[in-house]
Amino acid sequence: MGTRDRILDAAASVMRDRGVAHATTKEIARVADCSEALLYKHFPSKTALLLHVLQERMPAFGAKAVPGEATVEANLEAVARSAARFYLRGFPMMASAVAQPELLAALRDALAEHGAGPGRPVDAVADYLAAEQRLGRVAATADPDAAAALLMGACFQQGFLAYFNGGADIPKTLAAMLVAAVMPGLRP
């Protein structure tokens, strides 16, 4: 395993254990068995390191739902499964960042700079549903934005609850249950 990978693994571990606000580059470097200078050679800031952890060391956020492929229900279930797992794993990292206004502002700016942020998953699901609507696989009367917000909001809440209750994994039946609740409003 290369130095960059060791740093990312260490950062993911330290950020999950201590939260982003309390994770220091010094501690991350110690866990990665490298110097802080070497850490900064690979990542220009702790915020950049966090972005790479989110992109490379977290469960994939949202299986790629492809309009016209599989069923709408199956696609949404895959997205819901991966979203709930992402939220479960990400919550311990992000909670401390949200509690510190300066860190939250820096994180918000960094995410925006990379076209990322907490609203992106909702937008992606809404875009997917709108594309399925154009194909006639989602009701013309459905509101893709509202359905996406309901589904992703439920995934976030369930990820939080799983973390709050000791970090247990997401139940296998959760995605199907959540999707079943939104499907009546989506079926043509």
Q: Do 178 and 158 form a contact (C-beta atoms < 8 A)?
A: yes
pTM score:
0.81
Buried residues in 99-114 as b, exposed as e (16+ CB within 10 A)? eeeebbebbeebbeee
Given a contact cutoff of 8 angstroms between Cβ atoms, the answer to whether 81 and 63 are in contact is yes
CATH superfamily label, 3-55: Homeodomain-like (1.10.10.60)
Q: What is the b/e burial string over 23-42, where b = at least 16 CB atoms within 10 angstroms of the residue's CB?
A: bebebbbebbebeeeebeeb
CATH classification code of 59-185: 1.10.357
Contact call for residues 25 and 8 (beta carbons, < 8 A): no
Q: What is the pLDDT along the chain (188 residues), one digit of tens a residue?
A: 899 999 999 998 898 888 887 889 999 999 999 999 999 999 998 888 888 887 777 666 656 789 999 999 999 999 999 899 888 888 877 777 777 788 788 878 877 887 777 888 899 999 999 999 999 999 999 999 999 999 999 999 999 999 888 877 888 899 999 999 999 999 99
CATH 1.10.357: which residues of the chain?
Answer: 59-185
Domain with CATH 1.10.10.60 in the chain: 3-55
